[in-house]
Structure 1
């Protein structure tokens, strides 16, 4: 596989992971994609073929290339089975999310650019607006978009891919949601303050403060909102066992 084909494959994988091409969506024509990405139609065709072979896309004769929703159904079955076999899965997922988001926040603080700053401020404003109301779907969308904006600001596509997959899992498959809150409740107020503190730390280019804010936010989500006991942590050599 040539480097250009690999680059198109990576671009499309990230676009699908980030929701720009949702399950069941038809992709633009090969010629259109080629012009948009600055590559030949043949390069696009080879990239699409690679993604079809991986099961991410499907070709429909005479109708184009679509994002395969079969993968989503299979993944839902996998997570449902895992949740049944592992009663502590929700707590394990929160623990993993803490590790992932703390690192992502620290990287975003050092790597974000002007476009990331604009996106982060826009998603933060959307979070505030959503938690001013009682629309559960809007709360979920805004929360996912905010955390995805942080992941994208790392400029490491794996963070965006993992973050999107994990948040989708938490909200859709394990039903671990921070939404559906009364707009003026203490919990909603705390969430808005935590999101704002996290964004401010990232935009101030303070990676250590960003890491702490992200960790504290995930602790709040896991313990307060979902009434989960935190997994016991081993004391680090030379440390006092406290995060903040």
Structure 2
């Protein structure tokens, strides 16, 4: 690796460490070389390496574990709120916009998932679907499990770009559940199961229509909340 120029050393060092992670295929949870090895590899001082690591930590690329070292993050480069939605002042408008966004994408995602799902994927989807149903029936907070359900469908596509927008889908699910106060959730049990059944049967058209109906139901529920 070439020596770094004097301009923006910490930023350049951070970029080079990212490149090392990519080139060496360091996986989530894997420990990075120690500070002195980084100094020698990058040709910069210890202070610059430390600043670079802080930059990468802010990017959710690495995790600093005190007394143990620096490790590649589990969800490298991803953050739970990538677009800063938690700062939105009008949560209802945000929920509606996210619902519309999801309606544009998730039916197609379900369609592709129906084509690619393995028996193991289907088993996992059914487990999550059943757990959401159990939690709804018992009046429990099902938001996290619902996020897992939709996240799993997206991951089944095997599309790396789709996987990058999973945080947006997760935000949409979480905000929807919070706004509806877990009310109006009964029919979700039915539409979730229809999605899983269609994926199990590898019926792309049915999966598309089932997810489309689920998205429509969510949007209608938001309208009911809006009128309260």
Give TM class, smaller chain. 0.5 to 0.7
Give 5+ residue unaligned stretches, structure 1. Answer: 13-26, 32-48, 230-244
Q: What corresponds to 1:151 in structure 2? A: 154
**Correspondence 1:111-122 to 2 at 5 A:** 111-122=116-127
3-state SS, counterpart of residue 205 of structure 1:
coil
**Correspondence 1:86-165 to 2 at 5 A:** 88-136=93-141, 139-165=142-168
Q: CA deviation at 1:85?
A: 8.3
Show CA shifts across 1:199-238 (max 9, x none). 1111111111111111110111112245389xxxxxxxxx
**Correspondence 1:187-226 to 2 at 5 A:** 187-226=184-223
Residue 63 and residue 149 in structure 1: after superposition, are their counterparts in 2 closer, same or farther (change >3 A)?
same
Q: What corresponds to 1:240 in structure 2? A: none
TM-score under structure 1 normalisation?
Answer: 0.61
Q: Please, which moves more after superposition, 52-61 or 213-222?
A: 52-61
TM-score under structure 2 normalisation?
Answer: 0.65
For the residues of structure 1 that align with 2:214 and 2:89, how far apart are their CA atoms? 27
Q: CA deviation at 1:168?
A: 3.0
Q: CA deviation at 1:57?
A: 2.7
**Correspondence 1:66-77 to 2 at 5 A:** 67=73, 72=79, 75=82
Bigger radius of gyration among the two: 2
For the residues of structure 2 that align with 1:7 and 1:130, how far apart are their CA atoms? 43
Q: Size of the alignment, in residue pairs?
A: 185
Asked whether the equivalents of residues 58 and 65 of structure 1 are also in contact (C-alpha less than 8 Å), the reply is: yes
Q: CA deviation at 1:169?
A: 5.4
For the residues of structure 1 that align with 2:109 and 2:219, how far apart are their CA atoms? 18
Q: CA deviation at 1:147?
A: 0.8
